[in-house]
Structure 1
Amino acid sequence: MSTTQPAPAARRKDPTRPERIARAAIDVVAERGVDKLTHRAVAAAAGVPLGSTTYYFATLDDLLVSALRQAAADDVAQMRQWAEGLGDNGDLATALADLVLHYLGPARLQTAVQHQLYIAALHKPALHHASQEWDNALAELFAARTDEATGRALSVVFCGLLLQGIVRETVPGRDEIEMIFRRVLTGAAES
């Protein structure tokens, strides 16, 4: 009678490995930039054999798509948590200004990496769909507090402020950011 022994720990199927590899790719992009992303660098950052990165992600574009989707999922989860904490009576323009300042202050590195991944879609068609999914998720999140058209406008303004904020040497002032959101919200109310 033969008993089956479990596979050694190193050979067991690891269901978290693709996510760990995607997160490691985000870390490599943060450290080196999109252009310096390699399977070897990601494998080292994830603490996995090189063959694991190429097994799950045959090309660098596949790896970038996974990293972009992971960054988007993490961001949308944080944004949903933010939205749940607003309550029903909060001033949305003020809350959005606070959120922008958070992303340009304490979360600046995360914001810069997310934008590097997002902007990589300019030259990598494989990333187009993942970038559009992220756009749609943000627009839906804002639309839940307003309406569909205003949600899309808020998403565009929000992303534009973040992009400008990470590129500029100085972050826009709180009053300026809040005024921009208030104008979008006021314009929507007048329509």
Structure 2
Amino acid sequence: MAPPERPAGSRRGRRNDPDRRDRIIDACLAVIARAGVAGTSHRKVAAEAGVPLGAMTYYFGNMDELLREAFTRFAETISDRFERRMAFASDAIAARDAVVAIILEDVFGDDRELVLSHELYTLAARQPAYRSITTAWMERSRAALERHFDPATARMLDALIEGLTIHRALDSHQGDSRDVQLAVSRIAAG
């Protein structure tokens, strides 16, 4: 007797789940945002993604591989947003305004992004292998800025964006947005 025919697009009679890997990566970011890298486990990520625990090792050989994929996705998402903002700037004034908007609106748009960024920074500080992710992120930011500013100014603006964004997110006394405009103008004028 021949084995029963499987439905098209399935394995062993189960429905194929083509988005499972992406769900796992997104779930990993959600768990990191809640529990930090130290509190992230295969079990927690599988539960968040709604997948069997055994599926984790099918897609990711170990936690390090999953963390790399998750943080790479996160950094690319932020970089894409940054590049779009800078691409719309048509002149020097619009470019300065775009940098101000990046600081005030885009980077670390919410607490989740703030936590994920700091978790990545801490991991990269402790484990140099993760610096390739932060380096690629900075290179993309600087390249987007270099459409409108010389390389030295782009580097200073990139550091200003990061620093002011962190200060605005963590300081209990929110500064005036005009202070951000002034800082960007001073660096860009140099």
With normalisation by structure 1, the TM-score equals 0.83
Structure 1 pair 28–123 and aligned structure 2 pair: CA distance change class (3 A) = same
Q: What residue number does 2:37 align with?
A: 34
* Pairwise CA distance, 1:160: 1.6
CA distance in structure 1 between the aligned counterparts of 2:117 and 2:85, rounded to whole angstroms: 18
For residue 130 of structure 1, what is the aligned residue in structure 2? Answer: 133
Q: In 2, distance between residues paired with 1:100 and 1:150?
A: 16
Aligned partner (choices 12, 16, 28) of residue 12 of structure 1: 16
**1:64 pairs with 2:62:** no
Q: Percent identity?
A: 26
Greater shift in the superposed pair: 21-30 or 143-152: 143-152
Instruction: Tell me if structure 2 keeps the 8 A contact 1:118–1:131.
Output: yes
Distance of aligned partners of 1:79 and 1:104 in 2 relative to their CA distance in 1, 3 Å threshold: closer
Report the CA distance between 1:106 and its aligned residue: 5.0
Contact 2:82 2:106 in 1 (8 A): no
Larger Rg: 2
**Closer, same or farther in 2 for the Cα pair 1:126/1:52, shift >3 Å?**
farther
Match of 2:50, as an amino acid? G
User: What runs of 5+ residues in structure 1 fail to find an aligned partner?
Assistant: none
Identify the range of structure 1 (91-100 vs 38-47) with the bigger mean alpha-carbon deviation: 91-100
Q: Return the alpha-carbon distance in structure 1 between the equivalents of residues 107 and 73 of structure 2.
A: 20
Aligned pairs for 1:1-191 (under 5 A) are 5-6=7-8, 7-8=10-11, 10=14, 12=16, 14=18, 16-88=19-91, 90-103=93-106, 106-187=109-190
Structure 1 CA distance, aligned partners of 2:107 and 2:39? Answer: 24
Structure 1 Cα separation of the partners of residues 74 and 107 of structure 2? 16
SS, match of residue 45 in structure 1: helix
Q: Distance in 1 between matches of 2:142 and 2:108?
A: 23
Contact 1:104 1:165 in 2 (8 A): no
Q: Which sits farther off after the overlay, 51-60 or 154-163?
A: 51-60
